[in-house]
């Protein structure tokens, strides 16, 4: 069992990275299913369990950074247990869900606690230390890999009951609280952007964009189109004015 557990964990680490980086989508259940099947020697069940999970989790994709239940761990563990317990592949879904949800919480946690690292990155950028920037990114990959590795290894090796108990140690209010904080945190990113971008002259456009989104519920593309329209108008207005001015100066001479 150890070999299999290690192999599956290895695959989980790779797929976990692929969920955010690479994005070749080898991390989707339809692919991980067959790989897990291969490792555990039951390709057919793997295929079907993976396909079943794929269809159930069709729309589960991260939009604007918001994490849905984790399809990587869900897919891998669901398929593995379906094969190990020799159950109907459809059972995979039932097993997969609690793990997928728990890891959704963990990823949220990771994305929250990784924020402070950005200030290290700021320092590196300041010093033009590009190697530092690269290391931070590699660190991120490493963390992802280890996390997925461990999370996949434990329940396969120790069985799902033990694993679920382990997962339940983290209190709900903590994960949920972090998730709330994660939702708010882009405010800090925008505030830092504003610190460099905002001049008195341009406050008007910040207000406009906000009103268009908040009151009129316009999507960002529409706001960008309106912003472009204004920028164009302003551009030609000032150009015309400048042309007039020049004309006069020339006339004056």
Partner 1 sequence: MASNYVDPSNDVKLSKKDLNILAWRSLLLQASFNYERMQAAGWLYGLIPGLRKIHRNKQDLSKSMKDHMEFFNTHPFLVTFIMGIIMAMEQNKEDRDAIRGIKVATMGPLGGIGDALFWLTLLPITAGIGASLAMDGNIAGPIIFLVLFNIVHFGLRFGLIRYGYYTGIKAIQQLKEGTKQISRAASILGLSVVGGLIATYVNFKTTAVIKTGEAKVKLQTDLLDKIMPALLPLTYTILMYYLLKKGKSPLTLIVITVLMGIIGKCFNVL
Ligand X SMILES: OC[C@H]1O[C@H](O)[C@@H](O)[C@@H](O)[C@@H]1O
Rule CB under 8 A: which residues touch a second copy? 200-201, 203-205, 207-208, 210-211, 215-216, 218-219, 222, 225-226, 228-230, 232-234, 236-238, 240-241, 244-245, 248-249, 252
Residues 6+ apart with CB under 8 A from 15: 26, 27, 31, 32, 72, 75, 76, 148
Bridge partners of 66, per DSSP, are 63
CA–CA gap between residue 165 and residue 71 (Å, rounded):
20
Stretch that binds partner 1, among 79-87, 98-106, 147-155, 186-194 (CB under 8 A): 186-194
Q: Does 145 bind partner 1 (CB under 8 A)?
A: no
Q: Does 63 bind ligand X (CB under 6 A)?
A: yes
Q: Which of 1, 2, 128, 249 binds partner 1 (CB under 8 A)?
A: 128
| Beta carbon of residue 13, minimum distance to partner 1 (angstroms, whole number) | 14
Contact, 19 vs 72, CB < 8 A? Answer: yes
Measured from the CB atom, the residue of 65 and 219 that comes closer to ligand X is: 65
| Beta carbon of residue 12, minimum distance to a second copy (angstroms, whole number) | 43
Helix (H, G, I), strand (E, B) or coil at 63: strand
Structure tokens at 82: 């379906």
Q: Measured between alpha carbons, how far is residue 149 from residues 53, 56, 59 in Å? A: 20, 24, 25
CA–CA gap between residue 114 and residue 251 (Å, rounded):
62
Measured from the CB atom, the residue of 21 and 240 that comes closer to ligand X is: 21
Residues that bind ligand X (CB under 6 A): 62-65
């Amino acid at each position: 069992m150890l070999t299999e557990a290690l192999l599956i964990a290895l695959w989980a680490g790779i797929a976990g990275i692929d969920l955010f980086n690479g994005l070749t989508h080898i991390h989707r259940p339809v692919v991980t299913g067959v790989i897990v099947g291969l490792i555990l020697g039951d390709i057919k069940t793997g295929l079907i369990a993976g396909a079943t999970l794929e269809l159930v989790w069709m729309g589960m994709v991260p939009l604007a950074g918001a994490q849905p239940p984790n399809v990587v761990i869900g897919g891998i563990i669901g398929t593995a247990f379906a094969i190990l317990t020799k159950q109907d592949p459809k059972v995979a879904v039932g097993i997969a869900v609690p793990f997928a949800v728990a890891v959704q919480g963990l990823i949220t946690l990771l994305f929250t606690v990784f924020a402070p690292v950005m200030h290290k990155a700021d320092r590196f950028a300041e010093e033009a230390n590009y190697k530092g920037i690269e290391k931070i990114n590699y660190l991120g990959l490493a963390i992802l890999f280890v996390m997925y590795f461990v999370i996949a290894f434990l329940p396969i090796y120790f069985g799902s009951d033990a694993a679920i108990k382990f997962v339940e140690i983290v209190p709900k209010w903590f994960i949920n609280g972090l998730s709330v904080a994660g939702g708010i945190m882009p405010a800090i990113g925008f505030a830092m952007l504003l610190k460099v971008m905002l001049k008195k002259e341009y406050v008007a456009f910040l207000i406009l964009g906000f009103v268009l989104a908040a009151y009129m519920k316009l999507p960002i593309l529409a706001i960008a189109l309106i912003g472009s329209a204004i920028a164009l108008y302003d551009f030609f207005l000032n150009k015309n004015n400048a042309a007039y001015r020049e004309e006069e100066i020339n006339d004056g001479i």
